[in-house]
Amino acid sequence: MWDVLLDAFLDTLKIFPFFVLLYILIEVLEHRTKIGRPGGALTGKWAPLIGSVTGLVPLCGFSVMSAKLYQKRLVTAGTLLAVFLSTSDEGLLVLLLSSLPWSVKAGSVLIFCAVKLAVGAAAGYALDALLSKDAKEPVRQPEFDYGVHEEHAEHGGECGELSVCEHKRENAVDLYLLSPLVHALQVSAAIFAVNFLFGVLFFLIGEDNVVEFLQGTGYWFQPLVVCLVGLVPNCASSVVIVETFALGGISFGACLAGLLTCSGLGMLVLLREVGAWKRNLVILAATYLIGVAVGYAANLIALLM
């Protein structure tokens, strides 16, 4: 059990510097640039495609970044969904290190990446088209800002969403260093708790038992079950899915379906940080249903070939 605690701590510690840099970047984007303005790189016509490409980078931090940018209303729901669907955490790297022949590994990774890129971008554009302008973005959540806004409010001024106010220059240390550090610690604490919780579950259940369970779910039930495993906000979910596929325990379609729902820690941050529950559930349900649909389509194609 101490190994589980240590692993959870080390996993969280490894990504903590990334979170600090992430929050600094978000503050800079929000207060010092206009990159998030309507039609900009993060919200313009290329945004879902850019999000889908970014998600392919084998780091769970990008899904976390997209969730935080969504909370700040700097990306749309469609772009967030595109990142979630294209994210694979460490799964593809584990597949490349498996004992499968290199031709199988390389071919599988290329297909996984191509499908996840296409599905992520298509789903992102579709969701943005279906949602109204206001529904694409969450309601901005109030945050503790160390008295930055109170000073400005006393003078009766208003600060545009992406404009630079004089009082922010005066509080640059708080805004661009202290605030990001506090937020990074808060999110890291939540991630540590989740990592430890699922680490204990995997320890008690046993990874071999999870693999055996997935192997016995049956060809046509696998996408349903594997997609649920993929939704677990932990890097272990993608690893288990890929390892089971490498052992021949699940089909190619089921593995693809599970990797589509493996949004890593991004889903956890979304549910924790964004209070718009209905919109969160739409994104969660869309991720699961799209993963299942693609999994069944891939299984059907495999049978027809």
Mean per-residue pLDDT for 123-131? 92
Percentage of the chain with pLDDT > 90?
27
Please state which of the ranges 4-8, 135-139, 287-291 shows the lowest mean pLDDT: 135-139
pLDDT exceeds 60 at position 294: yes
Q: According to the model, what pLDDT value does residue 149 have? A: 43
**Domain-wise residue ranges, the chain:** 2-304
Would you state the pLDDT for residue 5? 80
Residue by residue, DSSP assigns the chain as -HHHHHHHHHHHHHHHHHHHHHHHHHHHHHHH--TTSTTSTTTSTTHHHHHHHHHTSS-THHHHHHHHHHHTTSS-HHHHHHHHHH--TTHHHHHHTSSS-HHHHHHHHHHHHHHHHHHHHHHHHHHHHHS-TTTTSPPPPP---TTHHHHHHHTT----TT---HHHHHTHHIIIIIHHHHHHHHHHHHHHHHHHHHHHHHHHH-HHHHHHHHHTS-TTTHHHHHHHHHTSSSHHHHHHHHHHHHTT-S-HHHHHHHHHH--THHHHHHHHH---HHHHHHHHHHHHHHHHHHHHHHHHHHHH-
Q: What's the pLDDT tens digit per position in 146-188?
A: 344 444 444 444 444 444 444 444 477 777 778 888 878 887 8
